[in-house]
Amino acid sequence: MHNLLPGVEGFMYPNEMELQWSVLIVLYPFITGLVAGAFILASLERVFNLEAIRPTYRLALLTALAFLIVAPLPLQLHLGHPERSIEMFLTPHKTSAMAMFGFVYLWYLLAVLVIEIWLEYRPYIVARAQSAAGWSRWFYRAATLGSYNLSPRALRIDDRIGRLITVVGIPSAFLLHGYVGFIFGSIKANPWWSTPLMPIVFLFSAIVSGIAAVLLIYFVYCLARGIPLDMPCLDAMGKFLFYAFLVDFGLEMLDLVHRNYEADESLKTLSFMVETRLFGSQIVLQIIVGTLAPLLLLGLTQLLSLTEAARKGLYATAGALTLIGIFAMRWNVVIGGQLFSKSFLGYTTYKMEFATREGLLPALVLIVLPFLILWALVRIFPPMLEYDPGRKPEANPALPAEPEA
């Protein structure tokens, strides 16, 4: 055969030699997944009044915001003409799944997340606007948006609106990430992507990754601040993670069984790819290290009665492995979907560059960036209820008297 490029095996259509979507596009579903997952976790507390996970409520919201801010960046960096991306808002093409990204994103950012966070922190913002000095006073004053009313009636209204937004927010979070799955799942040209299960698999893996990320961030935050970890909270998160992961794993297995049983023309090509080029990232990282291992660890915490220290260790390890597994899953979807020829007659390789626009370096920066933003956010909006005036005024004697009432 005439293989002009190293790493190419068999026959690729000539235009297929170059991979179109790079590691940056791997980050995109990974990051939006964390956003959706963290938000859904927060919503559980809010809508179903799950007291156990309350300590992570605000942290989850702030995590969602930090990652949401970064979510469009990998897309922008990847475009051939980022300066034209505004056209997606001005002249969106109605039949394009991708054209809706901007709208779904803005809706989620502005109509859901920012309002919910603002309502949640309003008492705190008002208190700080009155007590802080210097620049931060100005900042918090602006953040009050002119509303200093903290009367029980006003707070009740806040609470009701917050609840409403959460109720709207859950389907929005589903939309945000299910939609990302649809971008891939609706490409009939690509059998690795094309399945109606894709949005659902994306959604559940998003929930899984969101819970794992908030769990780890909660760990780190408490350790850094010297705050004792709340064991009932960790146990509840561990349980959610376990069951969400079971559903996610079940869905992925359903996809696998279905593909193998249906055995359409792409099956041989795809399974060969999984056995060779994707073996490390799919079988080893995604399934063994990133799914079976954390499921086993979490299963142990559900079945055995372990000491607190052991449970903490297991939760943290399982959370970290989970994130590796979900990242590997995104990788396998995005990169895996481009390693085989649409002629089903050959394979290519992805060679990641380093310090180029779509290389490893910008990818690393984009992974670190949300954590920097989160670090800033938790300084402005303290995430632990017991350390500041929470949204239940009667529980906070420190809350200032109502100014205007």
Partner 1 sequence: MSVDRRQFLADATKFLLLTGAAGQAWAFVAEGRPQDAPDYDIARHWWAMFIDIEKCIGCGRCVEACKIENDVPDEPFYFRTWVERYYIPARDVTSPRAEDHPKVDSPDGGRHGFPDIYPKEDGSKSFFVPKLCNHCAHSPCVQVCPVGATFESPDGVVLVDKDYCIGCRYCVQACPYGCRFIDPRTNTVDKCSLCYHRITKGLTTACCEVCPTGARQLGDLRNPADPIHELLRTHKVQVLKPNMATGSKVYYNGLDASVR
Does residue 16 belong to the site contacting partner 1 (CB under 8 A)? yes
Q: What are the CA-CA distances from residue 361 to residues 24, 241, 291, 353, 365 (Å)?
A: 10, 31, 27, 8, 6
H or E stretch including 116? helix 114-131
Q: Does 97 bind partner 1 (CB under 8 A)?
A: yes
Contacts of 226 (CB under 8 A, 6+ apart): none
Among 7, 13, 260, 302, binds partner 1 (CB under 8 A): 13
In the complex, what is the shortest distance from the CB of residue 169 to partner 1, in angstroms, rounded to a whole number?
Answer: 25
What is the Cα 194 distance to its own chain's centre? Answer: 22
Binding test (CB under 8 A) with partner 1, winner from 343, 349, 387, 403: 343
Note whether 15 binds partner 1 by CB under 8 A: yes
Judged by CB under 8 A, the residue of 7, 51, 98, 376 near partner 1 is: 98
Residue among 7, 20, 142, 225 that touches partner 1 (CB under 8 A): 20
Residue 235, amino acid: D
List the interface residues with partner 1, window 21-50 (CB under 8 A): 21
State which H helix or E strand residue 228 sits in. Answer: none
Angle at 219 between CA 213 and CA 222, to 5 degrees: 135
Stretch touching partner 1 by CB under 8 A, among 62-70, 184-192, 204-212, 281-289 = 184-192
* Binding of residue 96 to partner 1 (CB under 8 A): yes
- CA gap 38, 53 in Å, rounded: 12
What x/- string results for residues 76 through 95 when contact with partner 1 is judged by CB under 8 A? --xxxxx-xx-xx--xxx-x
Output DSSP code: residue 345: S
Residue of 9, 47, 50, 99 interacting with partner 1 (CB under 8 A):
99
Q: How far apart are CA 184 and CA 198, in angstroms?
A: 7
Shortest distance, position 263 Cβ to partner 1, whole Å = 13
Region 358-387 residues binding partner 1, contact defined as CB under 8 A: none
**Identified binder of partner 1 from the candidate list 32, 166, 286, 341, rule CB under 8 A:** 341
* CA 71 to chain CA centroid, nearest Å: 9
* Count of residues in contact with partner 1, rule CB under 8 A: 44
Joined tokens for residue 330: 């995104």
Shortest distance (Å) from residue 184 CB to partner 1: 9
Among 17, 220, 257, 365, binds partner 1 (CB under 8 A): 17
Nearest residue (CB) to partner 1, 183 versus 201: 183
* 178: helix, strand or coil: helix
Report the sign of the C-alpha dihedral through residues 235, 238, 244, 247, in that order.
negative
3-class SS shares of the chain: helix, strand, coil, % to 5: 70, 0, 25
**Residue 258: CB minimum distance to partner 1, A:** 18
150 near 162, Cβ under 8 Å? no
Least Å distance between CB 31 and partner 1? 17
**Least distance to partner 1 from the beta carbon of 330, Å?**
16
Strand partners, 346: 10
Nearer to partner 1, 187 or 222 (CB): 187
Rounded Cα distance between 86 and 106, Å, is 13
262 binds partner 1 (CB under 8 A): no
Binds partner 1 by CB under 8 A, chosen from 143, 168, 187, 197? 187
In whole angstroms, give the CA distance from residue 357 to residue 284.
29
3-state secondary structure of 94: coil
Binding site for partner 1 (CB under 8 A): 1-2, 4, 11-18, 20-21, 75, 78-82, 84-85, 87-88, 91-93, 95-99, 101, 183, 187-190, 337-338, 341-345
